Amino acid sequence: MHEGRLIEFDRVSFAYSSEPVLEDLAFGLYPGQFVGIVGPNGAGKSTVLKLMNRLLAPSKGEVRIAGRSVSEYSLKELARLIAFVPQEPEYFPFTVRELVTLGRSPYRSGYGSVSPRDAEIVEEAMREAGVVEFADRPVDQLSGGERQRVTVARALAQKTPILLLDEPTNHLDIEHQLHICRLLQAKANAGMTCVAVLHDLNLVASYCHEVLVLDLGRLVAHGAPGGVLTPELVQEVYHVHIPDIRHPVTGRPVIAP
Amino acid sequence: MRTRSGVLRGVVLLAVLLVSILVAAAVGSVAISPVNVGRMLLSRILGFDSIERTWTAAEELIVMQVRLPRVLLAAVIGGGLSAAGVLFQGILRNPLADPYIIGVSSGASLGAAAALLFFIPAGLGWYGTLPLYAFAGAVGATFIVYRVGLMHGRLHPTNLILAGVAVGALFTAMVSFMMVFKIQNLQDVYMWLMGSLSGRGWRQLGAAAPYVLAGSAVAVLFAPKLDVYLLGEETAHSLGIDVQRLQKQVLAIGALIAAACVAVSGVIGFVGLMVPHAVRIWIGPKHTRLTVYAFLAGAIFLVVADTLARTVFSPIELPVGIVTAMTGGPFFIYLMRRS
């Protein structure tokens, strides 16, 4: 293993029965990075996330977290290391606070009331995700954007060093998209490792420290977005032609036809 | 504040249950005052000489040997079916799930019908081994549904529900088939299929209560995990829950409770579907409260329903399943329209 890598894919392949999804993936992610995973539909982006938290097991190779194979952790240990925001979370008429408090369950042994420390962490997570003002409303009465932030708050309440998000900006308007991306960037700057599957290349170019580009189950590029998201790569992976434009203020790539 | 008002509601439910048990044991062809029923019970609990006997020996016999065991059985079955309904609705994440959805009722019906039509001499059915046949049928059917719903070692709620429907249709057809060929015991079979507590006593209570009470207690222990499970299988996994194991455990507990209920009472419908819903509308989806309150509310509901079943058209007794559907249906529609 490589020193300092928090997440490591060691020649990982994955197949559903005989249908190969990922082939021979090898990369490492370091702490304190906001990493975007991009690629065309069906490239295997979500699968990469699910291999990280053992929702799926590799058919070849090994996924390591903090130097240990994910298969060696207990599910509770894993839940204290990795939080996950799935693509289509399900909602029940819990209040926002009740739902975010469920994020503390990996630390609680079944019963007992919520400790003051847990309550504090829940409040902080709700503040960070911007859901405090509707903390006592039932989740099923909120808009799509508000619900998504509630799910992020639930994941933040898990207080894990790693946060995985599967298309967290889907269905969100631009204000809420930017809010989520800024939050993830800030969490990464504070030491958390955030890995998000994203479709919007401009969000990745503007906010991510690193980007992983997948195509047909293979890793085709990995690095800082400024060096990776070139017109050549976009042409190769997405089969669309874009001009080479840079943002006039940040100097980061702008992906526009 | 939420918790405190929650506990208060629980105390109210418990009080209502105790009062309805006393009143139900007092009501019948021989009217006895509920106060005397209470005193009778107290004298049994505290010792025979501690309370002045303001009732006759005949009254005591009626209450202690006939009415009380039946009323308590109604409470246990109503509570058990409701707790099992909470478990099935939660673990299948389907609001239409009831305790019978994975084959319990059709299996029990097949076992009971076979017993009544072929194995048990007419008239002895209720007092003999009938619950054993029904229980075996329920457990057997559940096991078949479970095997059919299992794909590559994983349970899928939708597959399980479909398998339950298919096995249920098959078993129900087999019951009808047997009824066509053996018509002499039809009335017994029919009463059983409608669900009835008629003629049940201490023996049936002793047979069902341990399963139902232990199962419901374990169901409460699983409540925090079921809360997390409501957020979806992937989220539950990422919060440290072994989803596959939880599904198997909860299904086993729910099926055991439901099988024990069905075995002694026949197929009493609607309680296990409606009570969890009504209680969820009332107090929200958190499973600890939901399971406890649904048990209490289901117990009250069936005690009242069974009392109506045996008194309204006295001396004719209705199968209690008819009463639960006739009173519960409209109430449920009212609740749905209101919320």
Q: Tell me: the pLDDT tens digits for A85-140?
A: 998 888 788 999 999 999 999 998 766 678 899 999 999 999 999 999 999 999 98
Question: Comparing C-alpha atoms, which of B86, B59, B140, B131 is closest to residue B273?
Answer: B86
Give the H/E segment covering residue B108: helix B104-114
Among candidates A79, A92, A95 on the partner chain, residue whose Cβ is nearest the Cβ of B238 = A79
**Burial (CB count within 10 angstroms: exposed 0-12, middle 13-18, buried 19+), residue B314:** exposed
Q: In chain A, which residues have their Cβ closer than 8 Å to the Cβ of B237? A: 53-55, 75, 84
pLDDT of res. B220: 95
Q: How far is B331 from chain A (nearest CA, A)?
A: 22
Interchain pair B239, A55: CB under 8 A: no
Interchain pair B237, A53: CB under 8 A: yes
DSSP letter string over B149-179? HEETTEE-HHHHHHHHHHHHHHHHHHHHHHH
Residue A166's SS3 state is strand
- Spell A184-200 as b/e; 16+ CB within 10 A means b: bbebbeeebbbbbbbeb
Cβ distance B99 to B261 under 8 Å? yes
Interchain pair A90, B230: CB under 8 A: yes
Residue A42 has pLDDT above 70, yes or no: yes
Q: In chain B, which residues have their Cβ closer than 8 Å to the Cβ of A158? A: 239
Which candidate in B86, B231, B241, B279 is best for mutational testing of the A interface (most A CBs within 10 A)? B231
pLDDT in tens, chain B (339 residues): 345 577 888 999 999 999 999 999 999 888 899 998 988 988 888 776 778 888 888 898 899 999 999 999 999 999 999 999 999 999 988 888 888 888 888 898 898 888 877 776 555 545 567 788 888 998 899 889 988 888 877 788 888 889 999 999 999 899 888 888 777 677 778 887 888 898 888 988 998 999 999 999 999 999 999 999 999 999 999 999 999 999 989 998 999 999 999 988 988 988 999 999 999 988 888 999 999 999 999 999 999 999 999 999 888 888 999 999 888 888 878 877 876
Interchain pair B284, A76: CB under 8 A: no
Q: What are phi and psi of B124, to 5 degrees?
A: -90, -5
Q: Where are the alpha helices (DSSP H) in B222-286?
A: 223-229, 233-238, 243-265, 271-283
Q: In chain A, which residues have their Cβ closer than 8 Å to the Cβ of B227? A: 94, 102, 105
Q: How far is A67 from chain B (nearest CA, A)?
A: 20
Spatial separation of the C-alpha atoms in residues B169 and B184, rounded to whole Å: 24
Q: In chain A, which residues have their Cβ closer than 8 Å to the Cβ of B242? A: 75
Rg, C-alpha atoms of chain B? 20
Residue that has been written with the tokens 């989740």 in this structure: A139
Spatial separation of the C-alpha atoms in residues A49 and B286, rounded to whole Å: 29
Among candidates B224, B230, B232 on the partner chain, residue whose Cβ is nearest the Cβ of A111 = B224
Q: Tell me: the pLDDT tens digits for A203-238?
A: 999 999 999 999 999 999 999 999 999 999 999 999
Interchain pair A89, B237: CB under 8 A: no
Which residues, including other chains, have CB under 8 Å from residue B14's CB and lie 6 or more apart?
B296
Using alpha carbons only, what angle is made at residue B135 by residues B25 and B206, rounded to the nearest 5 degrees? 35
Both tokens of residue A225? 């977005």
Spatial separation of the C-alpha atoms in residues B212 and A180, rounded to whole Å: 48
Interchain pair B235, A99: CB under 8 A: no
Spatial separation of the C-alpha atoms in residues A147 and A139, rounded to whole Å: 7
Lowest mean pLDDT among A1-5, A237-241, B118-122: B118-122
Spatial separation of the C-alpha atoms in residues B147 and B131, rounded to whole Å: 24
Q: In chain B, which residues have their Cβ closer than 8 Å to the Cβ of A18? A: none
Question: Comparing C-alpha atoms, which of A212, A177, A169 is closest to residue A36?
Answer: A212
pLDDT of res. B125: 47
Which residues, including other chains, have CB under 8 Å from residue A96's CB and lie 6 or more apart?
A126, A131, A134, A135, A136, A137, A139, A142, A150, A153
List residues in chain A touching B: CB distance below 8 A. Answer: 50, 53-55, 75-76, 78-80, 82-84, 86, 88-90, 92-95, 98-99, 102-103, 105-106, 108, 110-111, 113, 154, 158
Interchain pair B240, A75: CB under 8 A: yes
Which residues, including other chains, have CB under 8 Å from residue B267's CB and lie 6 or more apart?
B100, B105, B108, B109, B192, B193, B194, B195, B321
Cβ distance B324 to B269 under 8 Å? yes
Residue A2 has pLDDT above 70, yes or no: no
